[in-house]
Chains A and B, each alone.
Chain A
Amino acid sequence: MIPKVLIVDDDQAWLRLIQAELEEHTNSFVVIVADSGDAALDILKNNDISLVVSDLRMPGMDGFDLLATILKVYPDIPVFIVTAYDKPKTRDVVFKSGAAGYLKKPFSGDELAEEIINTLQKKSEGGNLHNVSLDTFLQLIEMEQQTCTLRIVSKKQGRGGVIFFRDGDIMNARIGDQQGKAAAYEILSWSRVSLAIEHDCVFHDKKIDGDLQAILLDAMRSKDEGEENKRNAESDESEIFLDAPLAGKKSKSAEKKSRQKKQSVPKKKQKTSGQLKVKTKKKAPDLSEMSAVERIRHRIQTEIGNRNGLLDIYLDQTWEGLVYRALDIGEAFSGGRLNVLYVNKGSNGQFIVVPGEETAVIKIDADSPRDRIVDILSE
């Protein structure tokens, strides 16, 4: 299971050079290159990448945009920023944007390799396991209430995925750019796998409902149904060659197999599944009955989750002076509707101001994903 490192730079000559210099480290990692941010995203979607090294200044999608997308879609993949544009404060801004590392160009292949290997070692500090029964191993993690990130590779499927645990609770799963339950179901359908264990988890909030047992059962059921559908489709296609009793027999055997699999799960787990069945769908809240403040809170909560950095939301007329001036400016230069304002008052806090019949003010903390909140409220 040799990790893959993606290096992104619009300077193709530099890419060729660094790729050649890193060739001697192929025992530790394999290098894949991309000459633009868009090409990098395509590679990330279809490959199991362990680390990204990106240039900062690139035409089109620059290093910051790529970093922001990776943090959102592939939060477990560390990103190193490399740049010749090393001005005072660049390093601070790069780290503040969420990069895992920063290197000033020029640097040697060995320097970069050292940084890559150090980071990759941290990511598999919990060890590597091969030919493991995945469901048994995951139940062990749940039982021992471990916090970890598991990078899983199925040789049979030719695919890799990641499962995130916090205190034994399954928080999220990811395959390519897909996250959540669907990704978890696919990974859990793999039987014998290789995996690397990292003693950390980037997720603090659950992105998957239910506990591991219920998810394992659902994944098994979904796998059985998928196999049965496949068999039915095959038997339908083969109708002219097979007689009816044989087709019926096949279906019964599949049913039996499915029943056996379900029976192999301890009773306690079946109870959990039963509870899930009667679970009723939550009624969607009526937005028209909400106040402006409640609507804003609901939108941010729904789109971002609990790690939104909101400290307070309130109506505050004292901001109206700034809002009116901003409206005047917008009108004067044909900027169109004023959607939202962001204001940083240093030690006095950061605020997002939403104009309206009454001015709503959102106080956020320094780690809040404010660009995302601003985007959501601008829509």
Chain B
Amino acid sequence: MKDIFKDVLGTDGVHGLLFISDEGEVKLSKFSDQFKDEEEKLSRIDWASFTIELTGINDAELLYENARFYVKKSGTGYLIVILGYEAPISMVRLNCEIMLPALDKMKSTGKKIGALFRKKIF
């Protein structure tokens, strides 16, 4: 999983990224070392109420004074990239577009394996 995020996280100006399920659960969080405090602050947010508002949205951008959020819908949730204004946004959009099929594939494989385990155990 680490590799598929490499291109996005390695882009200049990208602070980090989150993957949030449709229900608002943080499934994954990866931030550069210098933005760990940002990661900590974002982990406390009620994402469920945010994902409700995102229903029907393919992608979105939230532009704040100091940073921007790029939100991309995947089959199972939302990928959120936090980036500074110096980041090449077109490159980030392209990398997210490229990354999503791999992300969905991993998620769906994960579910299948989970289901298999559940069957065997119970």
Contact = CB atoms under 8 A, between A and B. Distances in A.
Given A337-B64, A338-B64, A345 B69 contact: no
Overall SS of chain B's interface: mixed
Interface size, A (range): 35 or more
B97 A93 contact: yes
Interface stretch (A7-15, A209-217, A324-332): A324-332
Contact of B90 (A97, A336, A342, A344): A97
A62 B91 contact: yes
A374 interface: yes
B59 A93 contact: no
A371 B56 CA distance: 22
A158 interface: no
A336 B88 contact: no
Given A333-B38, A344-B59, A371 B49 contact: no
B57 to A, nearest CB: 6
Contacts of B89: 371
A338 B62 contact: yes
A57 B94 contact: no
Interface in A313-360: 321-322, 325-326, 328-330, 332-346, 348
Contacts of A125: none
Contacts of B60: 341-344
A330 B61 CA distance: 13
A89 interface: yes
Interface size, B (range): 35 or more
B57 A64 contact: no
Given A321-B53, A344-B59, A88 B101 contact: yes
B62 A68 contact: no
A145 interface: no
Contacts of B41: 332-334
B90 A64 contact: yes
Contacts of A93: 90, 93-94, 97
A90 interface: yes
Interface of A: 56-57, 59, 62, 64-65, 68, 87-90, 93, 97, 321-322, 325-326, 328-330, 332-346, 348, 371, 374, 378
Given A332-B44, A340-B63, A345-B56, 20 more contacts: A62-B91, A65-B88, A89-B97, A89-B98, A90-B94, A90-B98, A97-B90, A325-B50, A325-B53, A328-B45, A332-B42, A336-B66, A338-B65, A339-B64, A339-B65, A342-B60, A342-B63, A344-B57, A344-B60, A345-B58
- Closest CB pairs A-B (n = 4): A336-B65, A335-B64, A64-B90, A322-B53
